[in-house]
Amino acid sequence: MKVMKLIKKATALFLTVGMIASLAACGGASSAPAGANDQTADTQETDAQAADAGTTVSAAGSTAAAETAAAIDKIVFGTNAEFPPFEFISSTGGAIGEFDGIDMAIAKQIGDDLGAEVAINNIEFDSLLIALQNGQIDAIIAGMTITEERKESVDFTTPYYNATQVMIAKEGTDITKAADMKGKNIAVIQGYTGETCVKDLGFDYVSFKKGPDAIMDLINGKSDVVVIDSATAQKYVNDNAGQKLVIIEDNEQFANEEYGIAVKKGNTALLNALNAEIEKMVADGTVANLADQYAVAAE
């Protein structure tokens, strides 16, 4: 799958090179998010310890990650479950309660490995950073691109996934590169790095609260193009097979982006524990396998 640029068995060198590339991604993310007070919180919990009840070997001390995280017994992850295949609500049940997707499976695995309870707090993407700073959540796992601007307010783990912005348009479009969007009706999702990319191009755009709303606007013929992350774009195109949507890449304009988990600045205990987990899951292929699995899985 071309747009799925997975970090497969990544070496430290690869990650270092990737991190440098990500700094150039459209000049960084949008500015500080709006207040988190008006969000609708939707919390679902899983008890990793209960799930592990049959295991005789204690989780603590069994891995480096568990050792680092000896004191961590609960992690409240903030996400925005509107970003398939990374996070979405599954009517048939997901990795954590109703929440499913690559990130949710990663969060569940982290909880299982650390012997920590994991809860998901589903809030607007634009409110995640402030919710973290407020202490409402312990970490953000939301397909969130590591950007210099976000790094000013939160700390990020080692990257676990490579993505890029792409354009989705209707078959027959004359858009072949980002510059061709000039004068078109451009749709983005509020607070996503895609919004920053279009802003940096100097083009007018309409920003939607949710990805599906932008896609619907495209399908209805109001928008000509949607700028969004690659794997999510692929998912929307697959899910709307009858609508003849196409993905257009412009790797010169849209640089490599890397997703990381964010923690509150200075929360090194949690950051170290998450880094050990992420490094392990990238190196042993867990993340790549989840990405493959959820790219094809039905919601």
Binding site for ligand GLN (CB under 6 A): 29, 80, 83, 125, 142-145, 192-193, 229
Task: Report angle CA 50, 273, 101 to the nearest 5 degrees.
Answer: 60
How far apart are CB 68 and ligand GLN at their closest, in Å? 26
Angstrom distance (rounded) from CA 42 to CA 136: 12
Nearer to ligand GLN, 228 or 248 (CB): 228
Q: What are the φ/ψ torsions at residue 157 (nearest 5 degrees)?
A: -75, 175
How far apart are CB 283 and ligand GLN at their closest, in Å? 23
Angstrom distance (rounded) from CA 186 to CA 28: 19
Nearer to ligand GLN, 144 or 290 (CB): 144
Nearer to ligand GLN, 115 or 194 (CB): 194
How far apart are CB 233 and ligand GLN at their closest, in Å? 11
How far apart are CB 125 and ligand GLN at their closest, in Å? 5
- Provide the H-helix boundaries in 220-267: 230-239
Nearer to ligand GLN, 229 or 250 (CB): 229
Nearer to ligand GLN, 68 or 190 (CB): 190
Task: Report angle CA 182, 184, 186 to the nearest 5 degrees.
Answer: 100
247 forms beta bridges with: 168
Nearer to ligand GLN, 48 or 248 (CB): 248
Q: What share of the chain is helix, strand, coil (3-state, %, to 5)?
A: 35, 20, 40
Neighbours of 69 (CB within 10 A): 25
How far apart are CB 40 and ligand GLN at their closest, in Å? 17
How far apart are CB 143 and ligand GLN at their closest, in Å? 4
Take residue 20 and report the two structure tokens written for it: 């440098």
Nearer to ligand GLN, 119 or 154 (CB): 154
Residue whose CB is nearest to ligand GLN in the complex, by number: 145
Asked if residue 156 lies in contact with residue 173, where contact means CB atoms within 8 angstroms, the answer is no
> Which of 261, 257, 262, 255 is CA-nearest to residue 281?
261
How far apart are CB 78 and ligand GLN at their closest, in Å? 11
Q: At what angle do helices 268-283 and 102-114 cross, to 10 degrees?
A: 110
DSSP string, 148-163: HHHHTTEEE-S--EEE
Angstrom distance (rounded) from CA 176 to CA 42: 40
